[in-house]
């Protein structure tokens, strides 16, 4: 069957798609940086685990942040999910159904991960089960991330949907698509890098040695990330690869700037400069988010273009949404301020 016929009709949208795409990508960036921090810090703590009491005393306030980050990371994912559904809903729902059995398991696994992160913090330095619960957090995150990588990729590849005619059990994953593996590795390695930066930031005032250690983790992980990125690049179909190699000037520039800022952030982190590493890391992240969106557009190609969406303006509803949205952002910022002040006091 022709793949175009498999794509459900899209609903009209209430405002220009650019607004939703911008908000989707913005919240995705916030979401993924927080999830990266959780996984990165968890991996570092797991790796450095030792039975020395000092280890527990020094790291307890840091591990206390993991469950808080979890709540924040999931909260920031919800707007990303909502905006994604507005523009790409007809694609995203379809891919979610094709892998439905694995997809639905994300919910119980997320609950297990969240609960385990609390258990880990409460039992840190008290019970031997703390390390096991941290392992569970890491394992659950690996599972969930792998499913997200599959779903977002499958959404972008309607040509893979025909597998449904030979498998209706909701167990379709893209095992045979070679870009899945570097895309997933990209997430894991990014987590180590972000975890390193978070580690540095956290200890910047109390320990010069730990600040340097975090920056080193960031630098090495980012060097590996550059290699992972090129591996990802090489697994892309040739027509898409060419777009990033000059055929599409905007996509090529974003890609090259992203690689350049990544190199610069490595340079500064090896020199022990936290602030500059952070600035170039943020720039890299912004370029990479745009890069990822460009990749989506190229993958979808003729199958779907946002310009096909009908706009039925509902500016009154949009204005109400905007007011509630801005209020929500202020409430979250206020909540963060209170929690930072509280943790500074004790």
Interface residues toward ligand HEM, by CB under 6 A = 24-25, 28, 31-32, 35, 74, 77-78, 80-81, 84, 110, 113, 141, 144-145, 148-149, 152, 183, 187
The encoded tokens of residue 307 equal 């310009």
Work out how close the CB of 144 gets to ligand HEM at its nearest, in angstroms, rounded to a whole number. Answer: 4
Work out how close the CB of 143 gets to ligand HEM at its nearest, in angstroms, rounded to a whole number. Answer: 8
Q: Show Cβ contacts of residue 137 under 8 Å, excluding neighbours closer than 6 positions.
A: 38, 42, 66, 113, 116, 117, 120
Under 8 Å between Cβ of 172 and 221: no
| CA atoms of 270 and 280, how far apart (whole Å) | 13
Work out how close the CB of 82 gets to ligand HEM at its nearest, in angstroms, rounded to a whole number. Answer: 8
Work out how close the CB of 241 gets to ligand HEM at its nearest, in angstroms, rounded to a whole number. Answer: 18
Work out how close the CB of 297 gets to ligand HEM at its nearest, in angstroms, rounded to a whole number. Answer: 12
Q: Show Cβ contacts of residue 99 under 8 Å, excluding neighbours closer than 6 positions.
A: 147, 150, 151, 154, 170, 171, 172, 173
* Among 158, 155, 151, 153, residue whose Cα is nearest residue 1: 158
DSSP string, 254-293: HHHHHHHHHHHHHHHHHTT-HHHHHHHHHHHHHHHHHHHH
Cβ closer to ligand HEM: 153 or 222?
153
Cβ closer to ligand HEM: 87 or 215?
87
| CA atoms of 224 and 201, how far apart (whole Å) | 21
Work out how close the CB of 232 gets to ligand HEM at its nearest, in angstroms, rounded to a whole number. Answer: 10
Residue keyed to tokens 């206020």 = 334
Cβ closer to ligand HEM: 31 or 65?
31
């Amino acid at each position: 069957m022709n793949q175009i016929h498999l794509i459900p009709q899209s609903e009209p949208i209430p405002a220009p798609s650019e607004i939703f795409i911008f908000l989707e990508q913005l919240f995705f960036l916030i979401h993924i940086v927080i999830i990266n921090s959780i996984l990165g810090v968890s991996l570092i703590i797991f790796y450095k685990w030792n039975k020395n009491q000092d280890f527990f005393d020094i790291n307890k306030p840091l591990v206390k942040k993991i469950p808080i980050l979890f709540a924040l990371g999931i909260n920031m994912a919800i707007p990303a999910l909502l905006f994604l559904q507005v523009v790409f809903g007809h694609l995203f729902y379809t891919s979610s159904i094709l892998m439905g059995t694995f997809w639905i398991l994300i919910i119980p696994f997320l609950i297990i991960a969240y609960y385990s992160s609390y258990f880990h913090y409460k039992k840190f330095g008290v019970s031997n089960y703390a390390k096991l619960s941290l392992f569970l957090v890491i394992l659950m995150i690996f599972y969930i991330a792998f499913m997200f990588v599959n779903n977002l990729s499958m959404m972008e590849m309607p040509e893979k949907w025909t597998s449904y005619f030979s498998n209706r059990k909701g167990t379709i994953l893209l095992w045979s698509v070679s870009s899945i593996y570097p895309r997933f590795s990209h997430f894991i390695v990014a987590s180590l890098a972000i975890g390193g930066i978070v580690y540095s930031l956290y200890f910047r005032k109390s320990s010069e040695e730990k600040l340097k250690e975090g920056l080193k983790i960031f630098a090495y992980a980012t060097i590996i990330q550059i290699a992972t990125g090129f591996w990802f690049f090489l697994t892309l179909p040739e027509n898409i690869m060419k777009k990033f190699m000059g055929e599409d000037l905007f996509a090529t520039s974003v890609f090259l700037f992203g690689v350049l800022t990544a190199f610069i952030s490595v340079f500064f982190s090896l020199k022990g400069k936290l602030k500059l590493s952070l600035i170039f890391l943020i720039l890299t992240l912004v370029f990479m988010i745009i890069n990822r969106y460009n990749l989506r557009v190229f993958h979808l190609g003729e199958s779907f273009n946002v310009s096909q969406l009908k706009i039925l303006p509902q500016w009154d509803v949009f204005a109400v949404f905007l007011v509630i949205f801005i209020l929500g952002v202020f409430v979250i910022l206020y909540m963060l301020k209170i929690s930072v002040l509280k943790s500074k006091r004790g």
